[in-house]
Structure 1
């Protein structure tokens, strides 16, 4: 059974521990058992306090980081790796086993394309995975749509990178919004990534409340059930928290079928 997580910024945009603590009981009532913490500014989040709150509430924590524009591995791999070192320390303090996000480039840089750029991104991921191993953190290669990157767009791209690098702590994360734009089908994407798939972000095609866009949630959960996925599942949306909980979660549970969403 996969524990259903929620992007913590939907509860508190600045991920304030006090605000998150006040909401945990309500989140648990809706079947939420994990929070995803954003770490774009390393060491700015009170990771140890968040870990204590999560432990007390019996919540799990996961982490995500999109590299800021000034830290593009295509331009300065050393600076990007130095930034990630702080992120890895935060992950260790959170006790997050996996770090997802765009860790191989920056969103919006569509100039980075072709074999040379891909080789640079792959070499950077290899270095980052080696550094993360010290902190017992697995890095998840997350494909994104072609309008955000030209490096890894599909599950197949991520699979090839992970297989090529061969690091024991390099895995794959998939986002249903990006999959909707790039994959031939959810079934094909999940099946391709399955050997390395560690986390899935449930995001509507329009980034709104699940059910308000074009993602085929029945196909998503049927595909996850087919590959017997039991990794991290996180709900993400650019919507108010109440909308996600009151509208999105009942729909997701209805569509999940045999794939059980909820606390393990």
Structure 2
């Protein structure tokens, strides 16, 4: 069964990003529960920025799960990536993500690596950069495996990274790793830029997909753009996807209406 999730960001430095809720955690969780979401996906400054016991109680009280935890604050706040030419920064990036993996594992939730993958530096060597990325993902994938969760790797569009931009390349790269515990994040917004056919890419790479970010073509909530939602829903049915569709979209026209539109679209197109 496909499950719904909504994003909550608790990091002021990334407030211009595509997250539905920005208010305090308890208020956002309450709203998500009232609308009928199955889970939240949230972004925090670090693994110790939120008390896990308090979060457990809050989620249990609201009958919600934790779908995933983001790691983007590691780059935004601390400037850490897995492909920085400086080995000490790469080491710190692995440590930051490792802590997020351990935090998420308390809730059986995966950590997501998006912006922390980094880029090929100007004048840098692409092959070497991809080796650094592979080393980081392999190390972190093994940590995730030992904690009985997946690690989620997200191909980003060409304007956000010059590493891996589409699901085909992502699947090929993950297959080269010395771990099978890293899965792909299929972000429908990034795919709208990079894929020639969203449903066909989903079908072709379905076995590698472990998480999906739900947003329309303009990164507004699904239904406020021109994405062919029915075709995507059919593709997800074909691959027997049973994970989360997590709304990583701009809070347009405002967080409450964005959340309402998201759950409306989810119930219309994706609810089994």
> One fold, TM greater than 0.5?
yes
Give 1:22 deviation, angstroms. 3.4
**Mean alpha-carbon deviation: is it higher for 46-55 or for 120-129?**
46-55
CA distance in 2, matches of 1:246, 1:230: 22
After TM superposition, give the deviation of residue 26 of structure 1 in Å.
Answer: 1.6
- The CA distance in 2 between the partners of 1:205 and 1:58, in whole Å, is 31
- Identify the residue that residue 88 of structure 1 maps to in structure 2: 101
Name structure 1 gaps, 5 residues minimum: none
Question: Residues 47 and 37 from structure 1, CA distance in 2 versus in 1: closer, same or farther, beyond 3 angstroms?
Answer: farther
Alignment of 1:217-236 (within 5 A): 217-236=229-248
How large is the Cα RMSD of the aligned pairs? 2.3
What's the counterpart of residue 65 of structure 1? 71
Aligned pairs (5 A) from 1:1-264: 1-9=1-9, 12-13=21-22, 16-28=24-36, 32-62=37-67, 63-66=69-72, 67-69=74-76, 70-75=79-84, 76-93=89-106, 95-102=107-114, 105-106=117-118, 111=122, 114-239=126-251, 240-254=254-268, 256=269, 259-260=270-271
8 Å CA contact 2:202, 2:235 repeated in 1: yes
Aligned residue pairs, count: 252
C-alpha displacement at 1:73, in angstroms?
A: 1.9
Specify whether residues 229 and 79 from structure 1 end up closer, same or farther in structure 2 by C-alpha distance, changes over 3 A only: same
Question: Could you list the runs of 5+ residues in structure 2 that have no partner in the other structure?
Answer: 10-18
Tell me how far apart the structure 2 counterparts of residues 50 and 182 of structure 1 sit (CA, whole Å). Answer: 36
User: Following TM superposition, by how much is the alpha carbon of 1:185 offset from its aligned partner in structure 2, in angstroms?
Assistant: 0.6
Tell me which residue corresponds to 2:15.
none
SS at the partner of 1:162? helix
Taking the aligned partners of 1:174 and 1:19, their CA distance within structure 2 comes to 28
Q: Deviations over 1:134-171 (max 9, x none)?
A: 33331111111000001111101211122111413211
TM normalised by structure 2 equals 0.83
Asked if structure 1 preserves the Cα contact closer than 8 Å seen for 2:4 and 2:246, the reply is yes
TM-score of the superposition, structure 1-length normalised? Answer: 0.85
Contact 2:30-2:62 at 8 Å conserved across structures: no
When residues 248 and 17 of structure 1 are mapped into structure 2, their CA distance, relative to the original with a 3 A threshold, is closer
User: 1:187-219 CA distances to partner (integer Å, 9 max, x unpaired)?
Assistant: 222123211211111012222132222322122
Note if contact 1:12-1:19 (Cα within 8 Å) is conserved in structure 2: no
